[in-house]
Amino acid sequence: MPIKLVTTAAELRSHSARLLMQKQGASQGLVPTMGALHEGHAQLARTAVEQNDVVVASIFVNPLQFGDAVDLDRYPRTLDADLALLEAEGVDLAFAPSVDEVYPGGEPLVRVTAGPLGEKWEGASRPGHFDGALTVVAKLLHYGIPGAGLPPSGAFASSGVAGLPAYRAYFGQKDAQQLALVRRMVADLNFPVDIVGVPTVRSADGLALSSRNRFLSDEQREAALVLSRALRLLEDRANAHEPLDLGSAQDLVASQPLVDLDYFEVVDPGTLEPLAENCRETPFRGEGLAIIAAKVGPVRLIDNVPLSS
Ligand code: PAF
């Protein structure tokens, strides 16, 4: 079925309700994006399509999460290619609202505050970024609530709470801090949605896919591979029940002159607090997340791998 493009919340509600009726649907999935879609987003869409009867993808470059107007202007806008990718994955509806549609009164006075979890790691170098991201995610999750335009009897098969369709939203594990914060927001503020984290997609040489990779020169791209190599080193050690020896993995990154390391740590996957020092000297046990961020030329890159032993 060809994808339907809608630009207002009212259209989104009526079209998704109609689709749920037509398909006798029991579930709706939302894939929030900022466009400039790549294979990583295709994987989010694919997972959502596998798990839901109706799937909506949003495409909205959210000004609130950019600290710098230049970055906001520079963010690639590729709507036609994005729609083609989503359609190929079987997404039913693309919601691409204007800034005025999402923020009709200008910047919102009341926002979601990410709190201390939003101030560390990525938050430390991008103040306010996670407040802006969570504020728009809260709005998108509300826009995407299924069944809002359905008649009260709901002539659709129901598997959700109180006769409503099940509702899931899909986020990439690559943005680990964003995913942890969205999970906390949904749990702390009782949003009626299940958050699904989708594993990072990598190119054959290991580089995590990102809309920002297009700004790397060939030489910078080659240098950036050290990030995923260093993460893989830790993953291999965890799998082998060896000490992680984070120091030697940090040295590997430091040996690459084009890479300016910001942080490289092993943290608790939920709180993002660094794991105790002894995890680095004794064989690794339990669950962890190795997170890394670095500037390569003009581009800030982030990556992570889950560790389990
Ligand atoms: O991860 C992103 O693309 C954005 O932060 C999101 C979740 C779409 C909110 O603008």
Task: For 60-71, write each residue's pLDDT tens digit.
Answer: 999 999 998 888
Q: Which pLDDT score, from 0 to 100, does residue 163 have? A: 67
CA distance 32 to 73: 20
Is the minimum distance from the CB of 175 to ligand 1 under 6 angstroms? Answer: yes
Residue nearest to atom 2 of ligand 1 (CA): 33
The residues, any chain, with a CB within 8 Å of residue 122's CB and separated by 6 or more, are 129, 130, 177, 178, 293, 302
Which sign, positive or negative, has the C-alpha torsion 42, 48, 54, 60? negative
CATH 3.90.226.10 describes domain 211-304: no
Among candidates 192, 140, 168, 137, which has minimal Cα distance to 25? 168
Cα(309) to centroid of ligand 1, in Å? 31
Cβ of 74: how many Cβ atoms within 10 Å?
12
Q: Which pLDDT score, from 0 to 100, does residue 26 have? A: 93
Within this chain, domains 4-198 and 211-304 share the same CATH topology: no
Cα(209) to centroid of ligand 1, in Å? 15
Give the pLDDT band of residue 162 (cuts 50, 70, 90): low
40-49, pLDDT tens digit by residue? 999 999 999 9
Q: How many CA atoms lie within 13 A of 62 on its CB side?
A: 22
Q: Which segment of 102-116, 142-156, 178-192, 255-269 scores lowest on mean pLDDT?
A: 142-156
**pLDDT above 60: residue 286:** yes
Index of the ligand 1 atom closest to the CA of residue 33: 8
Index of the ligand 1 atom closest to the CA of residue 62: 10
**pLDDT above 60: residue 158:** no
Q: How far is CA 280 from CA 71, 82, 124, 290, 293, in A?
A: 37, 42, 24, 12, 19
Would you list the domain boundaries of the chain? 4-198, 211-304
Cα(156) to centroid of ligand 1, in Å? 30
- The model's pTM is 0.94
Is the minimum distance from the CB of 137 to ligand 1 under 6 angstroms? Answer: yes
Is the minimum distance from the CB of 32 to ligand 1 under 6 angstroms? Answer: yes
Residue nearest to atom 8 of ligand 1 (CA): 33
Average pLDDT over residues 146-160: 58
Out of 41, 129, 142, 241, which one is annotated catalytic? 41
CA distance 129 to 1: 36
Q: In the annotation, is 241 catalytic?
A: no
Q: Which pLDDT score, from 0 to 100, does residue 116 have? A: 96
Q: Which pLDDT score, from 0 to 100, does residue 282 have? A: 86
227-284, pLDDT tens digit by residue? 999 999 999 999 999 999 999 999 999 999 999 999 999 999 999 999 976 566 789 8
Is the minimum distance from the CB of 44 to ligand 1 under 6 angstroms? Answer: no
% of the chain residues with pLDDT over 70: 94
CB 263 within 8 A of CB 121: yes
Is the minimum distance from the CB of 136 to ligand 1 under 6 angstroms? Answer: yes
Q: How far is CA 223 from CA 64, 232, 273, in A?
A: 31, 16, 28
Q: Which CATH class is domain 4-198?
A: alpha beta
Average pLDDT over residues 100-117: 97
Is the minimum distance from the CB of 33 to ligand 1 under 6 angstroms? Answer: yes
Cβ of 89: how many Cβ atoms within 10 Å?
22
Average pLDDT over residues 116-127: 96
**pLDDT above 80: residue 160:** no
Q: Which pLDDT score, from 0 to 100, does residue 276 have? A: 77
191-226, pLDDT tens digit by residue? 999 999 999 999 999 999 999 999 999 999 999 999
Cα(59) to centroid of ligand 1, in Å? 9
% of the chain residues with pLDDT over 90: 88
**pLDDT above 90: residue 153:** no
